[in-house]
Every structure is written in C-alpha cells, then in structure tokens.
Structure 1
Amino acid sequence: MTDTAAIQPVVSSTSSAGTTTTNSAATSSATVSSDFETFLKMMTVQVQNQDPMNPMDSTEYATQLATFSSVEQQVLTNDLLKEMGAMLGGNALQQFGSWVGMDALARTPAQFTGEPVVFRPEYAVGAETANLLVRNSSGDVVQRLSIPVGQEEAIWAGVDDQNNIYPDGSYRFEIESYKGEELLETNLAAVYNRVDEVRNEGSEVMVRLASGAELTTSQVDGLRSAGT
C-alpha cells in the first residue's frame, strides 16, 4: 500500500514570470523609442537633402509620422496586455493553489491503494439497468458489477469474487447504461483524487492528481477535504 504521507504535494509557481514580462515590455519600449529616433533622423536628412525646386509634400510627412505612431502604439499595447496576462495568471495560481492536498472530483482514473474508492456514476437518459466496468491501467476489464440506475454515489471495494484485494494501481470506472438488451452508452464515472500540484501552463491553470492525470481547473466537478 502506498504511504500517502510520504508523497509531498507541490505548487509550481513561475515567480519570475512577472519580472520577465516586465523586462520584455521595457525592452520592447526601448526598441520602439530607438526606432522612432532613427526614423526622425532619417526624415531630417531627407528634408535637408530634398530638391528645393521640388520639395516633399507636407502631407507625406504627416502620413509617415501617423503610420509610425500607430505601429508604436500597437507594440506598446501588446506589451501591456502581456504584462496584464502574467499578473492575472499569478493571481489564478494563488487562487487555485489552495486546492493542493484536497480531493478533486473529476472524470479520471482513480489511484487504488487498497482502500475502497468512491465514485459517482453517470447514466444515460432512459436507462433501465446499468453495469459498472472496472479497468486497470492496461485497459483490461478486471471486474463487472451490476449497479442500480439512479444511484448518485457508489463505492468500489477493490476486491474480487474470492475476496482478494486487487493490486495497487490506476483504475477507471465505466458505466454501461442499458434499455432492455440495448446498450445506450458508456460513460466514465467521476472519482475523487488527491490534488498533488497546481501550475500555470500558458493561459490555463493545470491540476495534477495523485493518479497521474492532468486536467484544467474547469474539468474539476467538485472538491472536498482529503479523506472525507
């Protein structure tokens, strides 16, 4: 049996993200400023060397300045949005970091360690009977049991017909819904797994469970205190 106390949960945080983004924004701003100065110098040289008999139209200068200003503003706006995104990502990580150590309900396999597993079945509309299929990490069906339609929560004891305990490992629970002899559909049941890690990944906050499954926070259907 796995000693869960020896498994240390972790919250992964990219603390340098805000600094990196800020430095990147500052670098981009400096680059834009340098380019703008170069542009002005080029225009000055162009004015000094223009043909006095055929001077450039003033509207052309205005157009060039307006075009450069528009590009400059777009670059600075993009940098600002990136910086804001990094700040929001950090806030989200702080918000979901409290999930570490809790049990999350999601449609994923469960990590069996010899203790009964609580799961929540999902039945097809119109189902009259239902079966529970238990699959191991290889995808093989190790047990098939009848389950009453409408039962909201059930417990898998983790023992076979001879009352032998199944090996520790990852198991998933599927619900077959029948109407008469017709199989309507097969749904993956939701189970509780301990949250071991929460981290930022791009624009998403990812959750890693004790079973090894990784999912987004939006895929978590519920939370409870560990061992409840």
Structure 2
Amino acid sequence: MPMNPLEHDHRYGELDQVMRAYTGQIADDTQDEPSLALTAYLRHTWHNRPWALPIAEQQLRDYASTPPGRLRQHLGEFYAIPDVGLPDGGVQNWLFLLADHIKRSVESGEVPPPATPVTHWEWQARFAELGQFLSGWFSQDMPDEFHDHDAAVDDYRASTDPQLLARLVGELHELLALDLDESDYAQAVAELGMEVDPPAPYSPSGWLALVADRLGTPRAEYGPPA
C-alpha cells in the first residue's frame, strides 16, 4: 500500500525538493563543486527555509544507506528517484555526494549570495505566486477564455484572496528589481508559465510593471449615497 502524504513527507519530503531541483538539469556534481541544480537549491533554501537543509542532508543519507528493497518497491512504499542521467550503480554514491555538499555548506555557513534564478525549479520556487498567475491566466488558452490581457488580470483580481494578491505584487516588484535585459525577462515569464506574448506595445518588463501598478492600487469601493 502506498504511503500516506504525512509519512511520505516525513521520510522523503525534502529529498523530493532536492530531486525536483534537478528537473531539466545535469547531475554533474563533483567532490569539489556542486552542480548548477544543487547550487540553486542551496541558494533558495538558505534564503527562505534554512532549517530544511539539515533535513535534506539526513533524508539523502538515509535513502542512500537503505535503498528500497523488492518488498517496498512491490508495495509502493518508497520514493522513486527520477532519472538524472546516471547509471543505476552511480545513483547511491551521487546521493551521498549531495548530502556531503549540503552538510559542508551548513557546517561552514557558506551561503550562496542572492542572484537571478538559473534553473526552472529555482524560478518556480522563488516566484511561486507569479508562476500561478502566469501559468493559470496566461497559458495558450488565454485568447479563448478572455477578451484581452486586461480581462485576464481583472479575473485574477476578482477570484484571488487579497493576501495572495499582495504576495503577487511583491513578487512582481522583486522580479523587476533584478533589472534584467528584455530577452531575459521574456525567458523569465516563459519559465513561470506564460505562453502568450505581452499585449502591444509593451515589452515583457513594461507589461509586468503595468500589472504590478494595477494590482497594487486598491480598487475603489463605492457605497450607496448617504
């Protein structure tokens, strides 16, 4: 019988986050240098959930020390390590290597400095609500669902909790503060799930600034005359 969510997270929750960080990335970690994927995981986790790093190190080490046997695989009571391009015989040593890198980072206090996200996972983890907004309201189906971009923004505003709305505005300002080239902003919104172009004549950053301004301005509420 497969594990329930609580048991899964207790055993593998942070291990799963580390594995997700390798989506679309090469597992080319060495003894001397962590990969781009692991560096992105360390950077984001240090700055947002530093307490999770020792948990990740322990879960990686526990899994590598006691990989699932045939019975657990048959019952579905295990975490399936995704294919990261390594031979089966190399995965166990790779997990130990990741645990060693995380342990070294924690013990030395070496925190990767803030930087522009470099992997798909890091974009999604850092700008979670913006990813929900762009992928949910600006997918390739947007022209069939809304009259225009403004209508999609209005629908998001009307259907979203004000606290999440405020979080989105904060993430928009954080993204704009990165001061990227327009080609990099185009890549950023694509990484975050936007599948349509910004409305003419706006560039990606210009449209993001417009959305931040619109959503950051309280909507006037008019009651009946006294």
Please tell me the TM-score bracket, short chain as reference. under 0.3
TM-score by structure 2 length?
0.19
Higher strand share: 1
Q: Which has the larger radius of gyration?
A: 1
Higher relative contact order at CA 8 Å, sep ≥6: structure 1 or structure 2? 1
Higher helix share: 2
